[in-house]
Chains A and B, each alone.
Chain A
Amino acid sequence: MTPEALTGGFADAPVQAARAFRAALDALSRPGVIHTVAGATPPAPLSVAAGVLLLTLADATTPVHLAGDHDCPALRDWITFHTGAPLVDAPSAAFAIGRWGALAPLSRFAIGTPDYPDRSATLIVEVDDLSATGAHLAGPGIKDHAHLSLPEVAAFRANRALFPQGCDFYLTCADRLAGLPRSTIVEAC
């Protein structure tokens, strides 16, 4: 384990995690709304926002999958040290992190069961641009409609078709994040 792995966590976890959770909660409750978060300085290539989400939500009871370039020793050590989360393959993950291309295909991830749709994975998608433009969003959490710069539309439409099963998503870019629950109806703009 490198010394870098030991730094970059929350300095005051109860308070920082509380603020981060509220940002994450609001983001998932209101798809299209973008929040700025702080408190984590994870090693590359993990973004600050994705690091904050992990510190806030992951622990020894939530297996984490690292996809593509995110599956690197520096990040593995950092997550292990700060969260204790076991690092696993895609089908066993409660949380998965990576760039959109590395996470595909989504069919690898848990979507819950018909009686327990909550037993599904949450995907943290690292993106280069994040703005309230692009794909047309409607559904719970959205008054009339909203927009969000999604990496594609088809995969999210297919995910919505599984409702109430399916994956939930956070899109992260530097220190900003947005949420996209499985309930959102996504259409190309």
Chain B
Amino acid sequence: MTDQAYNFAYLDEQTKRMIRRAILKGVAVPGYQVPFASREMPMPYGWGTGGVQVTSACLMPEDCLKVIDQGADDTTNAVSIRKFFQRTAGVQVTEATAEASVIQTRHRIPETPLREGQILVYQVPIPEPLRFLEPRETETRKMHELEEYGLMHVKLYEDIARHGQIATSYAYPVKVEGRYVMDPSPIPKFDNPKLSDNAALQLFGAGREQRIYALPPYTQVVSLDFDDHPFEAGKAPHDCDLCGAGESYLDEVIVDDAGGRMFVCSDTDFCASRQAVGHRGRLSPEEV
């Protein structure tokens, strides 16, 4: 049931070619931000236009698409983007990570390990990891060229001096194959280890900032740290209250006026799959 007024997957062929060429350059130079002539999309800049353009350029009719926001398939923006591709590309959609061939995400990497042949497309708001240290593109481009990343280390070290630890909990910068410092998009640093040596192809699209970058499968990605302050992937020190998982990233949900709270998996597919095979957490409903 595709919308015939628009081309397959919405974008015109010329635009798709331009994006596809940028994606290939990104794959060839992992972690380097390739400028591309981002188009206005029918959703606002900042709402995933970069990811949508990358997904649009990648989709083929045989694909099965999953869209998540905050790890969940049913958040409003995920629903909206999924609907957009159902309408314009007519592709099959799924909530199951394992079934999807293309996954578009905002802020999370699924808990279920990805496999070869899958593509994970990230929506990126600010692709430049050095942007908050140096607002000028002309300067940061030079810094990448010269591998001049001292500023980033100084920032992280100032954190340690002031707070006793690195005070960056998401969008935690990484170094790719020992060359480019890269922004992994605002995923919690809990997800950073999954960036490295991942079997899937990871593509990053920043629409407003007109940048595409990529991590081919099995690319080596290291979270920046110091010998005396090694990187730690943090999460809430609890198990999921619904499925009992101890190793998944958790959302904290306030459940009553008294400040009562529970912790549940942010990855809704992961949590539901575990519950479906009988895993239970502290607050799971009684079996009927």
The interface-forming segment of B27-35, B167-175, B254-262 is B27-35
Interchain residue pairs A-B with the least CB separation, the first 4: A14-B8, A141-B216, A181-B28, A18-B60
Within 8 A of B (CB), among A136-157: 139-143
Interface size on A (CB < 8 Å)? 39
Across the interface, B61 reaches (CB within 8 A) one of A13, A18, A59, namely A18
Separation of A59 and B17 alpha carbons in the complex (Å):
8
* Interface bits B209-232 vs A (CB < 8 Å: 1, else 0): 000001111111000000000000
The interface-forming segment of B18-26, B65-73, B182-190 is B18-26
Structural contact, B23 and A25, CB atoms closer than 8 A: yes
Chain A residue with minimal CB distance to B200?
Answer: A29
- 5 more A-B residue pairs beyond the given contacts A24-B24, A59-B14, with a C-beta to C-beta distance below 8 A: A14-B7, A14-B8, A21-B60, A118-B32, A143-B218
Q: Tell me the smallest distance from the CB of A95 to a CB of chain B, in Å.
A: 9
Interface size on B (CB < 8 Å)? 46
Structural contact, A29 and B60, CB atoms closer than 8 A: no
Within 8 A of A (CB), among B78-124: 116-117
Q: Which of B14, B20, B28, B215 has the largest count of A CB atoms less than 10 A from its CB?
A: B28
Separation of A43 and B53 alpha carbons in the complex (Å):
33
CB within 8 Å of B: which residues of A?
13-15, 17-19, 21-22, 24-26, 28-30, 56-59, 61-62, 94, 114-118, 120, 122, 139-143, 163-164, 168, 181-183
- Interface SS of B by simple majority: mixed
Separation of A139 and B117 alpha carbons in the complex (Å):
17
Within 8 A of A (CB), among B248-270: none
B58 within 8 A of partner (CB): yes
Chain A residue with minimal CB distance to B22?
Answer: A118
Set of chain A residues within 8 Å of B180, measured between Cβ atoms:
164
